[in-house]
Structure 1
Amino acid sequence: MKRKSFLLSMIFVLSLSFFLAACGQQADEGKSGEAEGQPVSGGTVTLSMFSTPKGVFNPAFYEDQYDAYVLQYTFDSLWAYDDKLQLNVPLLAEKWELSEDGKELTIQLRKDAKWHDGEPITADDLIFTWETIAHPDYSGPRYYMVEMIKGAKEMHEGKAKKLSGVTKVDDHTVKVEFTVARANTLDNLWSTPIPKHVYEGVSVKDMPNHEATKKNPVGSGPFKFKEIKPNEYVVLEKNPHFYEKGKPYLDQIIWKVISQDVAIAALENGEIDFLSDISPNDFDTIKAMEHIEIKETQDFSYQYLGFKLNNPKLKNKKLRQAIAYGINRKAMVDGLLKGHGAVLNQHMPKASWAYNEELEDAYPYDPDKAKQLLEEAGYKDKDGDGFVEDPKGKPFSLKLDYPTGNPIREKTAPIIAEDLKKIGLKVEVAKPREFAAHADAVEKDKVEMWLMGWSLTPDPDPSGIWLSTDPWNYPHWVNKESDKLIKEAVESPEAIQDQNKRKEIYAKWTEVVSEDVPYVFLYSQNKIEAWNKRVKGVTFDWRGAIEHYKVMDWWIPKDQQ
């Protein structure tokens, strides 16, 4: 699998979870409970997941979000994003430097970092990881995160045995040459090493199912694997070799698989300490629990209504604009999300530094404007049945497809049809499919209009989804100005040197998208998480709490362990 499978797996996660973004409430970037005493060691924290991990506990190969939850506590990356979405927090990398032309990166690793078995983490591990991903037999979804390295293409095609653009300077220093300079090189470069001494001698095609992946993983993070019981739980314990001395404070973390139906009761009675993917409908119930902290933040995801622009029915821009004006998206946020989210008018979530505030109020609910646009485009009700005919006077209707798996999204489908009925558009709501079948139908152009969502990374580069040639450009939107701006935002010297310049370019790009309406951006839900107040030192920001890299700071007072 290449990048496509990874992105589809992310959409699948999106369909199972309640993916959320801004309602104007800001994340609390401080820590919970620091004023209640100094951190102490000991104790166990139990976290919940609603589906069993697939058990691919190798960061180079996993695709499942539930595997990712476990991996983020057991494998460290080179660096992390700070609370301002800047990639500048050193983890395994002590420091790094890009050359002036942006084509060479020097990475210096910490000398005190060790694998869980006590072996040192070295430049060899990092090089081994990149060459594993570039190998012709690699089947994971991350080749696109090494393809910018010089020699990766040749290695991937079987024409080379090594990456020509990677040089080991010493045991803890690596130099990497890139084929092109880009503003988001660090964001896209794969940065989580796997242990060479564990996997050396194992064929790349066997790595995903190897014992070191499935049963006895050796990681680098603050916690190491203690017990893996498929379909039930994963027990992690403190890594005694962790480079931050005295940390982590906790003795154990347990990832427990529980039914979503009993999750709130389990949080209330102390069976679990953390709960994520909380529905807006459950917010007030949890907030009323005195021993539970609940917080929400803007999330990097959104739901949308897509149009197949290669379908003659949907080629008219004014028709698409009329549909955008005709859907009461604010009512969805107020009603279905209980206010825990926001209407979105662009690909950039509100939490992104690239968010274009000029589009904040684009396409407000305006049925009269929608009817006017339809009439201007030649869509008129000529037989008095309440529905418009097409510009040639023929009956006109549209079909809306949507997947199961996200209860709130499922409820939006009939609401959209009813809203569009009010402006004279007849919409047939198809029977929902399982998500995998829905995604396949969308990919193969077996739909006209459809509901789906995207989960995004902090870097706002929309390529992969929005370039005219991208395989995930499901609307088949071809726009030369859009392509030019997308590339300019990462490849122009001005954008590479200045994030504000990138923001200006993305502002122009979002306005091009807004004018042409290949999607109707619907809404973003907020990321809502809750945890027992006995757990102190919890940092909650744009990524929430359970996906924050500072898990090593969590602690529990002695009398509550």
Structure 2
Amino acid sequence: MIRRRPLLALLAALLAAATIGAMSVSQASAAPRDTLTIGLTQYPGTLNPMIDSMLAKSYVLGATQRQITVEGPDWQPVCQLCVKLPSLEDGDAVRFPSKTEAGEPVDGVRKTYTLRDDAFWADGTPVTTADVLFAWEVGRHPDTGVANFRAYRDVLDIEVHGPKRFTLVERKLDYRYRSAGDFQVLPAHLERPAFEVPREYRNRTLYQTDPGNPGLWNGPYRVAGVETGSRIVLARNEHWQGRRPAFDRVEIRAIENTSALEANLLSGTIDMIAGELGLAVDQAIAFEKRHGDRYAVTYQPGLVYEHMDVMLDNPVLADRRVRQALILAVDRQAINDRLFAGKQPVADSSVHPLDWVHAAEGVPTYGFDPKRAEALLDEAGWKPGPKGLRVNAKGETLSVELMTTAGNRTRELVEQVLADYWKRVGIETRIRNEPARVFFGETVRKRRFAGLAMFAWLSAPESLPRTTLHSESIPTEANNWAGQNATGFRNAEMDRLIDAAEIELDRDRRKAMWADIQRIYATELPAIPLYFRAEPYILPKWLTGLRPTGHKYTTTNWIEDWQVAE
């Protein structure tokens, strides 16, 4: 019988060790209110809106690069660069007979948008349909390596009605049709030369080679300077016609070690810690107890799914019984209770209970059942061997590699706890961590992890998992590492359900499809679910107007609403 007490002792010891030496200094005098300095735990691998998916990049782009549409804090689509969302009822969205790529009949949609007259790049150039057309050209090219290539390849044509008005002719009328989704705009007047060799675009883009060029940015701020790996300096976009932001300058500093991040806040080096990429819940709870009189601490539950991607090309992990044993051997509820004060509920699949498509029934769940885990390993041919570790018939040890972002104290702590649990059922864990920009920009993107990769997906409401679970989205060298299906998951029924749900407008029928998607996910386990994260925002009490969204569109999308309290 496995007892819980040794684990709890381990948790307590690790937490105590992690806090030894934490700085306790008085806060320096407040920074000038014309500057806001934000701390977060990652530095983006690129600032190009279409290349790679990394939350640190999204955070910067929220302040500097506006999209046609986004999801608002109320989880509904809203215009950013457009004037109005199209709709079938109003006639600015119209059905037409179309076909899927496989030749099957389907409804397409022609939806017309008008760009805001007051939208400008920061060099004074208006945002026009030329920028929309160029982004479409970049996104649909097979050599570009865009993460969400479907946002562009499902656009059959773009009809231009003038410099500010255009119609997207989309192959399929899907349930998100009013939104432009992940379709970005790019400054055609600057970026076209970098796209002369599409396969080299990710390296030649000005977002990589000259990010301080004002013409790359159309938000309330522009990038004014970068120190790679350390900080990004934002200055006001003087051609921004919306509400004037409160700060002349915003500095975004990447401090990957979360204990150092907290110390920098207390010393006055930074003014706030971003909830999207900041302290873990356990650190925030401890921080609030010590410093809640000086800072506002807000916990935002949302669509942040902490998990471990499984490298399914690994023959050991390709056996579903081994994947199921890995999750059964871990008491995830104890981790939530002891590390996160119950604020980060255990995940059964990738769909959060807050999302209306969450399936409450019919989805396999995995409680803490080490005996069942051991039985599954026995069935898979891994028998108890020397030193308490399991071996197969060839005498090979059952060993898995576990990776995550280096310097994230909580993830590194969870790694140790996972390794302890797995050792009890005879699994050896080899931990190898990397800086976030390497981990996301190279290792995960190019599928170079050997075993398990622990990180989080941050999604929009009812975000169909085409880029992460559809077989067409497996990154390869041939497609220049496009897509986000880093596990290499291939399942014909999952592909069919994703394709069908995308074009199903009836909510009840679509919810039934979502239940099947979650059932397959929880059965096959292409990723090991851990928990849904809460985002702790650590803010100075003089900052107002910041509204956490709980989904993938970061608070910086409304940075012009942030104000200094009188």
- TM-score bracket, normalised by the shorter chain, equals 0.7 to 0.9
Q: Determine the C-alpha separation between the residues in 1 that align with 2:455 and 2:162.
A: 45
Q: Equivalent residue for 1:112? A: 118
Give 3-state SS (helix, strand or coil) of 1:522's partner: strand
Answer with 253-262 or 287-296: which moved more: 253-262
Matching residue within 325, 329, 346 for 1:326: 329
Q: 1:250 aligns with which of 247, 265, 276?
A: 247
Alignment partner for residue 450 of structure 1, among 448, 452, 457?
A: 452
- The one-letter code sitting in structure 2 at the alignment partner of 1:110 is R
Look up the SS of the partner of 1:237 in the other structure. Answer: strand
Change (3 A) 1:50 1:304: closer
CA positional deviation for 1:544? 8.8
Check conservation: 1:57, 1:214, Cα contact below 8 A.
no
Contact 2:446-2:486 at 8 Å conserved across structures = yes
Q: Does the 8 A contact of 2:548 with 2:555 survive in 1? A: no
**Number of the residue aligned with 1:44:** 35
1:520 aligns with 2:510: no
- After superposition, the Cα gap between the structure-2 partners of 1:126 and 1:66, relative to the gap in structure 1 and judged at 3 Å, is same
TM value normalised by structure 2: 0.73
With 278-287 and 527-536 compared, the bigger mean Cα shift is at 278-287
The worse-fitting range, judged by mean Cα deviation, of 395-404 and 90-99 is 395-404
- In terms of mean alpha carbon deviation, does 261-270 or 430-439 score higher? 430-439
Alignment counterpart, residue 421 of structure 2, candidates 401, 419, 422: 419
Superposed CA deviations along residues 374-425 of structure 1, whole A, max 9, x for unmatched, are 67x48797999978887xx887852121125244344444534543455xx4
Matching residue of 1:238: 236
C-alpha separation in 1, matches of 2:176 and 2:348: 24
Matched, 1:342 2:345: yes
Aligned to 1:128: 134
Higher relative contact order (CA 8 A, sep 6+): 1
User: Which residue of structure 2 lines up, in the alignment, with residue 283 of structure 1?
Assistant: 284
Deviations 1:165-184 (A, max 9, x none): 11111222101212333334
Q: By how many angstroms is 1:500 displaced?
A: 4.2
For residues 546 and 73 of structure 1, the distance between their equivalents in structure 2, rounded to whole angstroms, comes to: 9
Aligned pairs for 1:131-530 (under 5 A) are 131-134=137-140, 138=144, 141=147, 143-150=149-156, 165-184=157-176, 189-199=181-191, 204=196, 205=201, 206-208=204-206, 213-228=211-226, 233-244=231-242, 246-258=243-255, 260=257, 261-276=259-274, 277-287=278-288, 288-305=291-308, 320-358=323-361, 362-370=365-373, 377=379, 398-404=398-404, 405=406, 406-420=408-422, 422=424, 425-432=425-432, 434=434, 447=450, 449-458=451-460, 459-468=462-471, 470-471=473-474, 473=485, 477-491=489-503, 495=504, 497-530=505-538
Amino acid at match of 1:43: D
Q: Give the Cα separation in 1 of the matches to 2:490 and 2:261.
A: 45
What's the CA shift for 1:93? 0.2
Normalising by structure 1, we get a TM-score of 0.73
Stretch of structure 1 that moved more, 520-529 or 305-314: 305-314
Q: Distance in 2 between matches of 1:183 and 1:396?
A: 49
1:77 positional shift: 1.3
Instruction: Tell me the residue number matched to 2:59.
Output: 69
Verify: 1:536 aligned to 2:537, yes or no.
no
SS at match of 1:72: helix
SS in 1 for 2:251: strand
CA distance in 1, matches of 2:401, 2:506: 42
Measure the CA separation in 2 of the matches of 1:544 and 1:534.
26
- Cα offset for 1:556? 1.1
In the alignment, is residue 554 of structure 1 matched against residue 549 of structure 2?
Answer: no
Aligned partners of 2:313 and 2:245: how far apart in 1? 54
**Cα deviation code 1:11-57 (max 9, x no counterpart):** xxxxxxxxxxxxxxxxxxxxxxxxxxxxxxx7332212445556x55
- Cα-Cα RMSD: 4.0
- Structure 2 portions without partners, runs of 5+: 1-32, 87-92, 96-106, 475-483
With over 3 angstroms needed to count, the CA separation of the structure-2 counterparts of 1:359 and 1:121, relative to structure 1, is same
Q: Determine the C-alpha separation between the residues in 1 that align with 2:525 and 2:254.
A: 41
Distance 1:62 1:396 in 2: 37
Shift of 1:247: 2.8
**How far 1:73 moved relative to its partner?**
1.0
**How many pairs does the alignment contain?**
490
Classify 1:273/1:110 alpha carbon distance in 2 versus 1 (closer, same or farther; 3 Å).
same
Give the counterpart letter for 2:428 in structure 1: E
Change (3 A) 1:171 1:232: same
Instruction: Return the offset for 1:99.
Output: 2.1
Task: Tell me: CA distance 1:127–1:383, structure 2 relative to 1, closer, same or farther (3 Å).
Answer: closer
- What residue is the counterpart of 2:29 in the other structure? none
- Please report how far the alpha carbon of residue 455 of structure 1 lies from its aligned counterpart in structure 2 after TM superposition: 1.6
Please state how far the C-alpha of 1:453 moved relative to its aligned partner: 3.1
SS of equivalent residue, structure 1 residue 453:
strand
Q: Is the 8 A contact 1:268 1:289 kept in 2?
A: no
The whole-number CA distance in structure 2 between the counterparts of 1:443 and 1:232 is: 24
The residue matched to 1:283 in structure 2 has which SS?
helix
Q: Residues of 2 paired with 1:320 and 1:50: CA distance?
A: 30
**C-alpha contact 2:444 2:486 (8 A) present in aligned 1:** no
Shift of 1:221: 1.1
| Matched letter for residue 220 of structure 1 | N
Unaligned segments of structure 1, at least 5 residues: 1-41, 151-164
Check 1:53–1:417 CA distance in 2 against 1; reply closer, same or farther (3 A cut): closer
AA partner of residue 37 (structure 2):
T
CA distance in 2 between counterparts of 1:380 and 1:402 reads 19
Seen in structure 2, the aligned counterparts of structure 1 residues 414 and 373 have a Cα distance that, compared at 3 Å, is: same
- Closer, same or farther: CA 511–247 of 1 in aligned 2, 3 Å: same
Q: Distance in 1 between matches of 2:359 and 2:488?
A: 24
Q: 1:66 to 1:442 in 2, by over 3 A?
A: closer
Residue pair 1:303, 1:451 contacting (<8 A) in 2 also: no
Structure 1 residue 550: deviation in Å?
1.6
SS at match of 1:526: strand
Deviation track 1:473-507 (CA, whole Å, cap 9, x = no partner) reads 5655544332322221113xxx2x23443222111
CA distance 1:227–1:185, change in 2 (3 Å):
same
Contact 1:125 1:194 in 2 (8 A): yes
The 1-side partners of 2:144 and 2:252 are apart by 29
Three-state SS of the structure 2 residue aligned to 1:70 is helix
